[in-house]
Amino acid sequence: MINVFVIDDHPAIISGVEFMLSDEEDGVKFVGSAENMSDALKQLPSVPVDVILLDLIIGSACPVENITQLRNSCPKKPILVFSADDSSYSKYKMFKAGANAYLSKCSQNETIISVIKKVADGSVLLTGEMTEILNQFKEFEHSDSFSMEELEICNAFAHGKSLKEIATHRGKSVSMVEKILTRLRERTGACSSADLIRILIMRNLISSSN
């Protein structure tokens, strides 16, 4: 039997996972939960856990720090990140921080149970998509090819300026600004302009506030 502990700040999600794992014939069992990291870290040492099912965003806590804390507290426990955020950057950050797998909350129950079983022995589950994402960001981290103009455009966009306002300020057409953002999304592996901005902020290439 594979024992699963859930960390999620939405009680409805915890209840849903508990119900999903209620059929012990699947070989997977719900053994406990916590709605924040503090409570989870208190419980985990005394709970027989084989896999930790971790929500990506828990309140205002940093997702990477959450995994770091779990790794320090339970170094051998597999961590399956369970999230509604399907961005490439989030997946990359979680695997780099030490996650064993990353699943969408929209996944079918059968898929969730299957992945839990696959990572229960500590294996890291990398799909073809994830391998490509990791390679893209590995190349990105070693690249310093952003021009000042590209970063200034992204910074303006991050602070609420419209494409028209950015284009007017820089003496460009709106279509040219759109092309620059598209090129940067392709280069970084971002799935949207918002994802691109998050990547650049996390790398401290642009600011998150004025």
**Token couple for 124:** 């890291």
Q: How many domains does the chain have?
A: 2
**pTM to 2 decimal places:** 0.70
| 157 phi and psi angles, rounded to 5 deg | -65, -40
Instruction: Answer whether residue 209 is part of any domain.
Output: no
Task: Quote the domain boundaries for residue 149.
Answer: 143-202
* pLDDT tens digits, 145-181: 677 788 889 988 888 889 999 999 889 999 999 999 9
- Is the pLDDT reported for residue 195 higher than 90? no
In terms of domains, do 153 and 50 share one? no
Are the C-beta atoms of 55 and 4 separated by less than 8 Å?
Answer: no
Number of neighbouring beta carbons within 10 Å of residue 15:
14
In terms of domains, do 130 and 150 share one? no
In terms of domains, do 147 and 134 share one? no
In terms of domains, do 132 and 148 share one? no
* pLDDT tens digits, 71-86: 999 988 999 999 988 7
Instruction: Answer whether residue 151 is part of any domain.
Output: yes
Instruction: Answer whether residue 194 is part of any domain.
Output: yes
Our measurement of the distance from residue 14's CA atom to the centroid of its chain's CA atoms, rounded to an integer in Å, reads: 19
CATH number at residue 22: 3.40.50.2300
Instruction: Answer whether residue 208 is part of any domain.
Output: no
Instruction: Answer whether residue 173 is part of any domain.
Output: yes
CA distances from 171 to 163, 176, 178, 184 (A): 12, 10, 14, 20
Determine the number of helices (DSSP H) and then strands (DSSP E) in the chain: 10, 5
| 180 phi and psi angles, rounded to 5 deg | -65, -45
In terms of domains, do 127 and 50 share one? yes
